Amino acid sequence: MSSTYDQVYARSLEDPEGFWAEAAEDIHWTKKWDRVLDSSNPPFYRWFVGGEMNTCYNAVDRHVENGRADQVALIYDSPVTDTVKTFTYAELKDKVARCAGMLRNVGVEKGDRVILYMPMVPQAAVAMLACARLGAVHSVVFGGFASNELATRIDDAKPKAIVTASCGIEPGRVVEYMPLLNGAIDLAEHKPDAVVVLQREMCEAPLKPGRDHDWKEAFNAAEPVDCVPVAATDPLYILYTSGTTGVPKGVVRDNGGHAVVLKWSMKNIYGIDPGEAYWAASDVGWVVGHSYIVYAPLLHGATSILYEGKPVGTPDPGAFWRVISQHNVKALFTAPTAFRAIKREDPEAEFLKKYDMSGFTTLFLAGERADPDTIMWAEKHLGTPVIDHWWQTETGWPIAADCMGLGALPIKYGSPTKAVPGWDVQILDEGGNQVARNETGAIAIKLPLPPGTLPTLWHNDEGFKTSYMSQFPGYYATGDAGYMDDDDYIFVMSRTDDIINVAGHRLSTGGMEEILAGHPDVAECAVIGVHDALKGQLPIGFVVLKAGVARAEGDIVRELIALVREKIGPVAAFKTAVVVQRLPKTRSGKILRGTMRKIADGEEYRMPATIDDPVILDEVTVALQDVGYAQD
C-alpha cells in the first residue's frame, strides 16, 4: 500500500499547477491569479501570475483578524543579554505597522530596497515584515559583515535606506556595527538617503546629522500604516550568497510563490500545527532565518523562537535544551555543526538530563552533511526522530526531506530521504544524461522549479542562466554531487567541486568524511583534495577530537587512515590526516573547504567575508605545513 507521501509526491509532478493552486488557497489574495504558471520564457518561470497579495498581511494581520491576536507569535530569547521577551500576534502587528510608518517617513515606498544590517534582535524580524508590509524589497546582510563586502551589496541593491543597530553581542565581546557600516557607505558608490540605528545599551553609536535616525525616536513618532498589495511575482527580498567575489549574486525571492510553499511546508515537511512552537536556530542573515525564523512559522500561525546565543558557551552545552524546555518547542531545526559542538563539550549529554523535553518531537538538521555518527548520537540521547534534510539559499525551502506531515519514511543514515513534493530530482552525468541508480553524478532539478525558489538573480538574468541553467539545459544545476538508490533515497555526498580525481578514479570527499566521523574519538572533520603531480589529486583529512580525548594523536591518525583504506580501499590513496583544534567555518557553520584547498595548494585566496574566526586559517596553514603542504 502506497504511503501518503507517495501519493502526494506523484500528484505534485503529474499536475504541478493543480497541486500548487490548491496549496495557494491557504493564502489570502487581494486578487486571484490569472495563471498558476507562466512557462512562456524558460528558464524564467513565474508562479501565480496576475495574483496580488501581501506577505506581511498573511504572516501577521490575518492571524489577528482570525482569532490568534493573543497567541504568542515570536519569542526573543537572548542568553547573551539575559533577556526573554514574547510578542503576541496583536503586539507584533502594532510594531510592524509602526515600523513600516517609520520607514515611509524616511522615504521608503513600494519597490524601494532596504538593507537590514542587524543582530538577532526582534527589531530585525519587525523590520523585515515592515518592508514586506510596504511592498519594499529587503536585503538582510549579516550583522558584522566586513565593510567592503557590505559595500558591494549596497552598490548592487541600491537601497533607499539602511536599518542597523549600534552593535551585536557575541560571547565575551561586543561587535560595533556603525564603524563597519560607515566604512561601507564611504566605499560604496551608491549612498542611502537614510540610516535608522537601533541603539543598544551595551554600546551606543554616534549618529550623523541629516542621515542617521534613532530607531526609538523615529519609531515613536511614526503612524502605523496598512499593508500594500503587491503582485505575486514582485520581489519580497534579495539575499546575497555567501563567499561571492566581484559582483555578488543576489538571489531574488518573490512574494506569492514564497508564501504558498512556506505555509505548505510547515505542516507537510515539519509536522507543525498552528499554535505550536517551532525553533530554527539560525540567524536572520541566512536563508534559514528568512524562511524558518520569520516567514514560514508566522504564515502558518505558529510560534517562532528568535535566539541570540550559541549552542555552547551561552552559558553551557545545555543552552538548546533549556530553550526547548522553557518554550515548549515541538521541533528544532539547526545545523549539524551545532550538535557536533554540543557532543564535543558534553559527550554523554549530561546537561540534557536537567530539562523536561517531553514536548519535543523532532530534530531537523541541514546546512552541512549530517554524518551518521552525529545523527545516532542525537537519536540516542533525545529519543526522537532526527531528520537530515537538504536545500540551498537559492531554493529557499527543502529539496529533500523526510516529510513528517505526510507520514515518516524509514531513515537511511547519510540520506536526507526523498525528494519533497514539487521537486523532480535527477542524477546526471557530465553529458546531462541520467546515470544508473547508486552511481554518483551531478544532482539536478528538472525545470520548472516549484514555487518559492529563485526566479532570477537581482538585475542579473544572464548570471542566473550562467550560474544555474547552462550546464544542463532544462535543469537547475544544484552544484551538489551524489546518487539515488533503488528506493529513490537521495544521498548528497559533496559539492561537485569536492568530487576529487585520484589517478582517474572519481571519489567523494563526503564519503571519506563519513568514515572519519564514525571514529569514536572524532568530534568533527573535513576532507579536501589537494594537487598531486602523480595522481592528480590526493585527499587530506582534518579532524577535531572530542573533549577529554587523551590518546596520542599519532595513534588516532593511523587508525583513521586504516579505516578509510578498509572501507573505501587503497584506491582512495588516503594517507594523510591532521588533528586541529578547530575547523574554519562560516558563521552559519559551513566548513570552508575551498579556502583550505587553496591554502594546501599554495594558491592565493581571498579572506571569506562570512568566516567565523580568521585566526583559524593560520592554524590550518601551520597544520598543513607540518605535513608538507601550504609551502610559502
Can you give the three-state secondary structure of 306-344, one letter per residue?
Answer: EECCCCCCCCCCCHHHHHHHHCCEEEEEECHHHHHHHHH
Where do we find the cell 519597490? Answer: 111
Residue 2 has pLDDT above 60, yes or no: no
Q: What is the DSSP-derived secondary structure letter of residue 149?
A: H
Q: How far from 258 is each of 268, 405, 444, 547, CA to CA, in Å? A: 15, 19, 21, 42
Please report how the helices 178-187 and 147-157 are oriented relative to each other, as an axis angle in degrees rounded to 10.
Answer: 50
Expressed in angstroms, the distance from the first to the final Cα of the chain is 63
pLDDT of residue 141: 93
State how far Cα 373 lies from the chain centre. 22
Average pLDDT over residues 586-613: 80
The pLDDT of residue 23 is 98
Confidence band of 362 (pLDDT split at 50, 70, 90): very high
Q: Where in the chain is the domain with CATH 3.40.50.12780?
A: 4-309+389-482
- Scan for cell 530539562, then name that residue: 355
Q: Which amino acid is at 411?
A: I
Give the range among 335-349, 426-440, 574-588 with minimum mean pLDDT.
Answer: 574-588
Long-range pairs for 467-473: beta carbons < 8 A, 24 or more residues apart: 467/249, 468/43, 468/394, 469/43, 471/432, 471/442, 472/428, 472/432, 472/442, 472/444, 473/432
**pLDDT band at residue 532 using 50, 70 and 90 as cut-offs:** confident
Cell of 255: 512574494
Tell me the percentage of the chain whose pLDDT exceeds 90.
Answer: 75
Assigned C-alpha cell, 412: 537511511
3-state secondary structure (DSSP) of residue 616: helix
The 3-state DSSP class for residue 593 equals helix
Q: Hey, which residues does 230 pair with through a beta bridge?
A: 53
Specify the CATH number of the domain 503-626.
Answer: 3.30.300.30
Residue 372 has what pLDDT?
A: 85
What residues contact 586, with CB distance under 8 A and at least 6 apart?
242, 243, 592, 608, 610, 611, 612
Distance CA 582, CA 91 (A): 42
240: pLDDT strictly greater than 60? yes
Instruction: Please check the confidence at residue 243 and state whether its pLDDT lies above 60.
Output: no
Which is nearest to 23 in space by CA: 254, 237, 262, 232?
A: 262
Query: Is residue 244 scored above 80 in pLDDT?
Result: no
Backbone angles phi, psi at 292, to 5 degrees: -120, 5
| 3-class secondary structure, 267 | helix
Q: What is the pLDDT of residue 506?
A: 60
Distance in angstroms (rounded) separating the CA atoms of residues 526 and 77: 32
Domain 4-309+389-482, second-level architecture: 3-Layer(aba) Sandwich (3.40)
HEC readout, 334-386: ECHHHHHHHHHHCCCCCHHHHCCCCCCCEEEECCCCCCHHHHHHHHHHHCCCE
Can you tell me the distance from the alpha carbon of 138 to that of 328, in angstroms, rounded to the nearest whole number?
31
Tell me the C-alpha to C-alpha distance, in Å, between residue 354 and each of 5, 65, 318, 334: 37, 40, 8, 21
Q: Answer yes or no: is pLDDT of 92 > 70.
A: yes
Per-position DSSP letters for 168-219, written without gaps between them: EEETTEEEE-HHHHHHHHHH-SS--SEEEEE-BTTB-----TTTEEEHHHHH
pLDDT attached to residue 598: 87
Helix axes 256-268, 16-23, angle to 10 degrees: 80
Decide if 154 contacts 188 (C-beta within 8 A): yes
Where, residue-wise, is CATH 3.30.300.30 in the chain?
Answer: 503-626
Q: Which residue did the predictor score with more confidence, 611 or 429?
A: 429
What is the model's pLDDT at position 452?
98
Residue 601: pLDDT band with limits 50, 70, 90: confident
pLDDT given for residue 363 in this prediction: 98
Q: What is the mean pLDDT of residues 543-551?
A: 91
How many other CB atoms sit within 10 Å of the CB of residue 570? 9
Asked if 544 and 550 count as a contact pair (C-beta separation under 8 A), the reply is no
β-bridge pairing 522-532 and 386-388 = unpaired
Instruction: State the cell numbers at 308.
Output: 541570540
Is the pLDDT at 245 greater than 60? The verdict is no
What DSSP element (H or E) covers 514? helix 509-517
- pLDDT of 148 reads 84
Residue 535 C-alpha cell reads as 595522481
Residue 498, pLDDT above cutoff 70: no
Confidence band for 213, pLDDT divided at 50, 70 and 90: very high
Residue type, 326: Q
β-bridge pairing 46-49 and 35-38: antiparallel
All three cell numbers of 462: 544572464
Is the pLDDT reported for residue 109 higher than 90? yes
pLDDT score for 503: 60
What number of other Cβ atoms are within 10 A of residue 186's Cβ?
A: 10
Q: What percent of the chain has pLDDT over 70?
A: 96
Q: What is the pLDDT of residue 1?
A: 36
In this prediction, residue 125 has a pLDDT band, given cuts at 50, 70 and 90, of very high
Mean pLDDT of 599-623: 81
pLDDT of residue 620: 85
pLDDT surpasses 60 at 409:
yes
Q: Is the pLDDT of residue 543 over 80?
A: yes
Q: How confident is the model at residue 423 (pLDDT cuts 50, 70, 90)?
A: very high
Element housing 596 (H / E): helix 593-600
Predicted local distance difference test score (pLDDT) of residue 281: 96
Average pLDDT over the chain reads 92
Residues in CB range of 23: below 8 A, 6 or more apart:
260, 261, 263, 264
Nearest-angstrom CA–CA distance, 609 and 540: 25
